[in-house]
Chains A and B, each alone.
Chain A
């Protein structure tokens, strides 16, 4: 195997010899990874809204301020279709919100009154018929002290579907754009190889092994992809900072939810890793056996 210092030196030399192509490839990779990264960030924040509980809430009864939550809960407990009844007080609702949105929770601390009314959450027994939640909600609306009664099942399902759609769109776009990134790296490497064709021929004649000839190109492309992925991550974080800064001054009911938090560190690091992988695959594609044989003949 060639010496690491030699490989690093040669890779740097290749990058310096074609700065425009290198910059173009890095830009393409950055853009290709930025878009799926953005969708990942949006779906990540949307996902906070979807409570991943073992027993999802089927019906939420919002109570009037003077209503007796325990009495409502006791009445619900007599229904054989219901597995669990949870009473969520105003303070508990606020605490839950703060846990889900730590950045927004601070903004609510100045409020004198609790922003969330008390509620009762109903969990149905497993295997309950599809319309059970709707029936219970409809019956509860007629009870005294009930401000509103909503079946969560349909909403939860649609919401989860929406998140899945965003995630799948991100994956699909990510796959297409990563393919584009791979091809752009492959082109950059091919161009670099063309620029160094004579040199590669001379190295081969002087006794350089194939791995010694290819390794700098592999490293060059991998580093190119890594830098592209890092730029994409930087752009994404910049977008997030800009959006949160902008929304802090001018809050928006929907957009604020999409920019609550940044990606977790392991997820964020996937961008440079994906860039590096795209670079490596691109270089492997362009440094295939056929290509190097062609170079041998030319040399």
Chain B
């Protein structure tokens, strides 16, 4: 569960990236975070996985007030979350397998188990044949899928994605969104930041809209989420 109470984020004295944002996302929910460029979507995601601290307010993730989390505990919080970045953030000198397995490597998981898990998640994103490839040998879509595989390999309770389809063609974007829906059905809370209104409309999921750092009618957004019965993004069986 994610809860925000009066969260604000200021950069410098004058720039308010987020202003008094409050909302609640229940476990297992799929939520879109939308708004124009500069609305505060990425900032909100950065606050959720503590890349930056909020200037004011409280953020509760899985029952923990992450604003008061000691510095030493932040890595452990991050391991409970999967994050998909718009620019993928893959490590160029590591193979696909190493990019996915490195946290498990740090934790001392047996290499066989690392390989098993990496293979499993890569198979889910359809890239199990590219385990030994380097990121620069992959297309943009493949890199994005590797980033998704890395985000889910630790079986996170929360999956955050920042414009995960921003650089992809519509077919690939659809494929990526289908993956997110699949993870969500398996119980992962998914928060996707995007400005693709058409996709949000087709997906028919709850949407939180940000504009200049302000959240628009969050309660109403929850109540009025349209239900699209014939949504094209059905989970893969």
Which residues on A are within 8 Å of B, measured CB to CB? 2-3, 5-6, 13, 17, 199, 202-210, 212
Contacts and interface: CB of A to CB of B under 8 A. Distances in A.
A202 B78 contact: no
B146 to A, nearest CB: 13
Nearest to B77: A207
Contacts of A209: 72, 75, 106
Interface string B56-79: 000000000000000010011111
A206 B78 contact: yes
Given A3-B106, A6-B105, A207 B93 contact: no
A258 to B, nearest CB: 49
A207 B78 contact: yes
Contact of A3 (B79, B83, B89, B105): B105
Interface residues of B, number: 22
Contact of A2 (B77, B106, B150): B106
Given A17-B93, A202-B89, A202-B91, A208 B108 contact: no
B91 A199 contact: yes
Contact of B103 (A5, A199, A207): A207
Nearest to A16: B93
B107 A204 contact: no
B51 interface: yes
A207 B51 contact: no
A208 B75 CA distance: 6
Q: Give 6 closest A-B pairs by Cβ, nearest first.
A: A3-B108, A207-B79, A207-B78, A212-B106, A209-B75, A207-B75
Kindly name the residue among A3, A13, A202, A207 whose own CB sees the greatest number of chain B CB atoms within 10 A. Answer: A207
Contacts, number: 50
Nearest to B89: A202
Contacts of B91: 199, 202-203
B83 A205 contact: yes
Contacts of B105: 3, 5-6
A206 B49 CA distance: 10
B5 interface: no
A2 B105 CA distance: 8
A205 B102 CA distance: 12
Given A3-B105, A204-B75, A205-B83, 8 more contacts: A3-B108, A6-B105, A6-B108, A202-B91, A203-B102, A205-B78, A207-B78, A210-B72
B88 to A, nearest CB: 10
Nearest to A2: B106
A258 B51 CA distance: 62
A206 B104 CA distance: 11
Contacts of A204: 75
A291 B77 CA distance: 23
A5 B107 CA distance: 11
Contacts of A3: 105-108
A207 B91 CA distance: 14
A237 B75 CA distance: 48
Interface in B31-89: 49, 51, 72, 75-79, 83, 85, 89
16 contacts: A3-B106, A3-B107, A6-B106, A17-B93, A199-B91, A203-B102, A204-B75, A205-B83, A205-B85, A206-B78, A206-B83, A207-B76, A207-B78, A207-B103, A209-B75, A210-B75
A3 B105 CA distance: 7
Contacts of A212: 75, 106
A288 B137 CA distance: 36
Query: Which of B75, B83, B85 is packed against the most chain A CB atoms within 10 Å?
Result: B75
Nearest to A209: B75
A205 B85 CA distance: 10
Contacts of B107: 3
Interface string B138-173: 000000000000100010000000000000000000
Contact of B106 (A199, A202, A208): A208
A13 B76 CA distance: 25
Given A205-B49, A205-B51, A13 B93 contact: yes
A15 to B, nearest CB: 13
B102 A206 contact: yes
Determine which residue in A13, A17, A202 has the highest number of CB atoms from chain B within 10 A of its CB, and name it. Answer: A202
B53 to A, nearest CB: 12
Nearest to A4: B108
Nearest to B108: A3
A206 B93 contact: no
Contacts of B75: 204, 207-210, 212
Contacts of B93: 13, 17, 199
B76 A206 contact: no
Interface in B95-114: 102-103, 105-108
Contacts of A206: 78, 83, 102-103, 150
Contacts of B72: 209-210
